[in-house]
Chain A
Amino acid sequence: EAGVTQSPTHLIKTRGQQATLRCSPISGHTSVYWYQQALGLGLQFLLWYDEGEERNRGNFPPRFSGRQFPNYSSELNVNALELEDSALYLCASSRQGAVEKLFFGSGTQLSVL
């Protein structure tokens, strides 16, 4: 069974640009979660989608947004990139609302120059 897949693996952008990160959950999982893992800050919760709806949002500015598609895949968009947005962005999936059992992808390493 395929795990959570994320693309691209690496992404290099310049300040002010926009980035789009993609995530495909495990088959049968309807919940998708996005986390930012910046150096020294640990995993910070960004967004939670379930059945196409945003369920919960972390303490990030509105330029971090996303959506979930009918096939439960998801994308994270970051507008007006800032240098401090450089981080590993991790996507996780679970069965509906099963936050206590997340399966993570390998992440997208975003570098903002």
Chain B
Amino acid sequence: TQLLEQSPQFLSIQEGENLTVYCNSSSVFSSLQWYRQEPGEGPVLLVTVVTGGEVKKLKRLTFQFGDARKDSSLHITAAQPGDTGLYLCAGSHQAGTALIFGKGTTLSVSS
């Protein structure tokens, strides 16, 4: 059972455009993480959000955790070709349980 739903599954945009990808669940998570994976590599952690309503910024990337801690979004401003990759959200329900991953959003930014 896939407990974390990501949308859209694929996104192809031009350099300079803004975009938002979503991560939704019916379950409450103690924390949510966003990873980016490039071809031939493992996922790399971008950010962890812990508090409901929390917003974190990482240069042009803005991450938000929903108030109820069931969903999260990733907004990229002025996308660049270097942002191309697979964006994965992951969550843990409680201490002692492994991370569950969504299927990811494949982003392609062309110049």
Contacts and interface: CB of A to CB of B under 8 A. Distances in A.
Interface of A: 4, 33, 35, 40-45, 48, 55-56, 58, 90, 92, 97, 99-107
B98 A99 contact: yes
Contacts of A4: 42
A100 B48 contact: yes
A101 B31 CA distance: 11
Contacts of B102: 42
- What bracket does the count of chain B residues touching chain A fall in? 20 to 34
A77 B50 CA distance: 35
B95 interface: yes
Interface of B is mostly: loop
Nearest to A41: B103
Contacts, number: 60
B2 interface: yes
B11 interface: no
B101 interface: yes
A103 B40 CA distance: 15
A42 B98 contact: no
Contact of A106 (B42, B45, B97): B42
Contact of B100 (A45, A48, A100, A105): A45
A58 B88 contact: no
12 contacts: A42-B101, A43-B88, A43-B90, A43-B101, A44-B101, A45-B100, A56-B97, A99-B92, A99-B99, A102-B33, A104-B35, A104-B44
A4 to B, nearest CB: 7
Given A55-B96, A56-B98, A99-B99, A42 B41 contact: no
B43 interface: yes
B104 interface: yes
A88 to B, nearest CB: 9
A97 B103 CA distance: 23
